[in-house]
Amino acid sequence: MGNARLDYIWLDGYDIANIRTKAQIHPDSSYNGSVEDTPKWGFDGSSTQQAEGHDSDCILQPVRVYPNPFRQNAYLVLCEVFHRDGRPHETNTRNLIDRDSEAEFWFGFEQEYILMTSNGRPVGFPDGGFPEPQGPYYCAVGAHRVEARELVDEHWDACLAADLGVTGINAEVMLGQWEFQCFGKGALRAADDLIVARFLLQLITEKYDLIATLDPKPISGDWNGSGMHSNFSYDYLRDVGGQDYIEALCEGFRPFHQDHIDVYGAGNERRLTGSHETASIDQFSFGASNRGASIRIPLYTTTHDWKGYLEDRRPASDADPYLVVDRIMRTVKVAHEAALKAV
């Protein structure tokens, strides 16, 4: 089949990180997709807000390799960014995650996004006007209720072919808004899969001449914003749990509320208003089955002897998943110990 094509993927240095990519052919015809046999590569960091022109070389360090769903004998290479002297780059948020504890954490991201046309309106919105109010669009069917299902299904098929942990899709509350769910056992795997799933989504929208925006509130007014609800669990929460423990654990998140908000995405103040299934950005709350809380205790958990997982509903759709999982893991470390003492 010849030598394999490698599409390298990384996050740039903008305040809201963009996904960058470039491709090369592997020099060895026997390459089989292993990270160890995937070469490092350089790029011009002065063009990605990651270096100055007088010292512009940055290094792409492969960390995970996926099959390319669009081509034979081709792979997607997710990378961390390093300085040329081997130091992790300041924008390398993946490097922050604690390698000693990440494996026991399972994360499930609910990635909402809105498909926009070239005129800056959500797909399905009439020019200069609005569709009928929210209500009939969530999980809907029919040409008068949903838009761009073909694109959404193509994205899901591509994610499955790339061995990503994408477990579901649904139309969301606003017309033109969709969600996919991405699950991973291990914080690194979950966040890695989400980045590559975002990459595939952006790639597919090129063909449809649409824009998949992760802006958490691109349309003001009585319309839902977009979040990245982050479901999480770890050994004790899955295996032991208990109502007193979980409620004490959630209470342990309260002192760190602003620390979470600080890394939960840009523009989140336009979304976390206390309306449209959100909590206020200024107040921390939790509750069973409460979609208006900062942290929801899901029905699954309360009906399984208070064991399972929790849902942090605060992250915005444009949040960096590496920062999200890092912050949740740091808070859990403190809140878990406090909860054990409380019960």
Residues near 75 by Cβ (< 8 Å), separated by ≥ 6? 4, 5, 6, 7, 33, 38, 65, 66, 67, 68
Distance from C-alpha of 91 to C-alpha of 80, rounded to nearest angstrom: 9
Q: Residues 197, 191: contact at Cβ < 8 Å?
A: no
> Would the pTM of this model clear 0.85, i.e. be above it?
yes
Do 85 and 113 share a domain, yes or no? no
Do 66 and 116 share a domain, yes or no? no
pLDDT tens over the chain, length 343 residues:
579 999 999 999 999 999 999 999 999 999 999 999 999 999 999 999 999 988 899 999 999 999 999 999 999 999 999 999 999 999 999 999 999 999 999 999 999 999 999 989 999 999 888 999 999 999 999 998 999 999 999 999 999 999 999 999 999 999 999 999 999 999 999 999 999 999 999 999 999 999 999 999 999 999 999 999 999 999 999 999 999 999 999 999 999 999 999 999 999 999 999 999 999 999 999 999 999 999 999 999 999 999 999 999 999 999 999 999 999 999 999 999 999 999 9
Domain of residue 274, CATH code: 3.30.590.10
Task: State residue 2's pLDDT score.
Answer: 75
173-188 per-residue burial string, b: 16 or more CB within 10 A, e: under 16: bbbbbbbbbbbbebbb
Cα dihedral 180/80/41/194 (nearest 10): -10
Do 65 and 134 share a domain, yes or no? no
* Backbone dihedral angles phi then psi of residue 150, each to the nearest 5 degrees: -60, -40
Of 92, 117, 137, which residue is a domain's last? Answer: 92
Q: Residues 6, 75: contact at Cβ < 8 Å?
A: yes
Helical spans, DSSP H, in the chain: 149-161, 187-208, 235-239, 243-251, 257-263, 299-302, 321-342
Domain of residue 23, CATH code: 3.10.20.70
Do 88 and 216 share a domain, yes or no? no
Tally of structural domains, the chain: 2
DSSP codes, 63-118: EEEEE-TTSTTEEEEEEEEEETTSPBPTT-GGGGS-TTTGGG-EEEEEEEEEEE-T
Do 261 and 133 share a domain, yes or no? yes
Q: Flag whether 172 is in a domain.
A: yes
Q: Residues 236, 287: contact at Cβ < 8 Å?
A: no
Task: State residue 248's pLDDT score.
Answer: 98
Name the β-bridge partners of 81: 60
Do 84 and 158 share a domain, yes or no? no
Q: Flag whether 97 is in a domain.
A: no
Distance from C-alpha of 119 to C-alpha of 57, rounded to nearest angstrom: 37
For residue 313, which of 289, 331, 332 has the smallest C-alpha distance? Answer: 289
**Domain range enclosing 322:** 102-342
Distance from C-alpha of 298 to C-alpha of 113, rounded to nearest angstrom: 22
Do 269 and 287 share a domain, yes or no? yes
Of 34, 60, 92, which residue is a domain's last? Answer: 92
Do 166 and 140 share a domain, yes or no? yes
Helix axes 149-161, 187-208, angle to 10 degrees: 140
Q: Residues 252, 331: contact at Cβ < 8 Å?
A: yes
